[in-house]
Amino acid sequence: MSNSGIFFVISAPSGTGKSTVIDLLLKELPFLKKPVSFTTRDPRPGEKDHIDYNFISKQEFKAKMDKGDFIEWATVYDNFYATSLDYINKELEKGSIMIKDIDTQGALQLKKVLGKKVVLIFIEPPSLQELENRIRARNKDNKAVIQTRMNAAMNEMAEASKYDHRVINDRIENAVLEIKKIIDGHKK
């Protein structure tokens, strides 16, 4: 069994820019692979089943949970999300270098189970005001949802000290470069 596989897990409050950063890294570093998680939320326009997520019902999710199919699972904004145990173990054995955004509960659980094979990277917004600006600019959420996201952001940011690395997403190109250096440093 090879030990060279590694899983870079990215967490950040909603609106910080983690999807933007991960999409750029996947384009710029073609060896990176994004694991496909399970979720009970509905697909958004343009999202494809088995590519963006495995979209499943709450009943299917519960059945998989009871069978022990998940290495971690969490509830995020009323939907369930989980990482497949079998998928991650197989990819790590193959030596895959993976990157995926996972919420803070799931990320810390992954670290507990997989130890050094998981590298936790927390992306922080330059300020709470800028975070709110980005959420507003993204134009996806109403006022109440924005407030919920800002409250959740405080709780998530309190977990940042438990991460292996912290990166501030001020200028996007700097954040991407910093994460590339982190990946390089761990990829042996």
Residues near ligand ADP (CB under 6 A) are 12, 14-20, 134, 137-138, 169, 171-172
- Report in angstroms how near the CB of residue 152 gets to ligand ADP at its nearest: 11
Q: Could you give the CA distance from residue 113 to residue 16 in angstroms, rounded to a whole number?
A: 27
Say which entry of ligand 5GP, ligand ADP, none residue 124 contacts (CB below 5 to 8 A, set by partner kind): none
CA–CA distance, 92 with 98 (Å, rounded to integer): 9
CB 130 within 8 A of CB 38: no
* 76 sits near ligand 5GP (criterion: CB under 6 A): yes
Based on the shown chain and the rule CB under 6 A, indicate whether residue 74 belongs to the binding site for ligand 5GP: yes
> What type of residue is 172?
I
Q: 2: which residues sit within 8 A by CB, 6+ positions away?
A: 93, 94, 95
Look at phi and psi of residue 14 and say left if phi exceeds 0, alpha if psi is from -120 to 50, else beta: beta
Shortest CB 98 distance to ligand 5GP, Å: 12
Q: Which is nearer to ligand ADP, 18 or 64 (CB)?
A: 18
Written as one letter, the residue type at 7 is F
Question: For ligand ADP, which is the closer residue by CB, 110 or 153?
Answer: 153
Residue with tokens 């998989």: 64
Instruction: Take residue 45 and report the two structure tokens written for it.
Output: 């326009």
Dist. CA 88–CA 118, nearest whole Å: 11
Question: How far apart are CB 171 and ligand 5GP at their closest, in Å?
Answer: 22
By the rule CB under 6 A, 108 interacts with ligand 5GP? no
* Among ligand ADP, ligand 5GP, none, partner that 169 touches (CB below 5 to 8 angstroms by kind): ligand ADP
Chain residues in the site for ligand 5GP (CB under 6 A): 37, 41, 72, 74, 76, 81-83, 101-103, 105-106
